[in-house]
Amino acid sequence: MLTNTLYDTVRHEYIDSSTTTVVTGGSRTAKLFRIVVNGGSSAAGTITVYNNASAGGLVVAIIDVATARGNSLEFGFAFPNINGLTILTESFANGANCTIVYQ
């Protein structure tokens, strides 16, 4: 049986509310591959991605859910987060949700 080390270790985090999610922190680093933005036609909110173990510091991306919903934002080079990976979701409404794909 063949195994693919990359796909054996890829993880995801599903977020469907306004919250702060520390995906990785401390000495554990992550590579961010993709953010999938979902929700109905009236979904709203903001997703802020931080290269940090808390909601502060270096901002990687700020995503408007109403504009991005139904799309997958891909980081083709597997953005390395050397200080951790934190996702801040604010004002999530009307079924807004996202999936963070990382390793």
CATH number for the domain including 70?
Answer: 2.60.120
What mean pLDDT is predicted for residues 3-32?
80
**Does residue 63 have a pLDDT over 80?**
yes
Residue 1 lies in a domain: no
Q: What is the pTM of this model?
A: 0.85
- Of the candidates 59, 61, 70, 60, which has an alpha carbon nearest to the alpha carbon of residue 97? 70
Total domains in the fold of the chain: 1
Split at pLDDT 50, 70, 90, the class of 30 is confident
Non-local CB neighbours of 88 within 8 Å, separated by 6+ positions = 19, 20, 21, 47, 48, 50, 55
Q: What percent of the chain has pLDDT over 70?
A: 83
The domain containing residue 53 runs over which residues?
A: 11-102
Residue 76: inside a domain, yes or no? yes
Q: What is the pLDDT of residue 102?
A: 87
> pLDDT-derived band of residue 45, with 50, 70 and 90 as boundaries?
very high
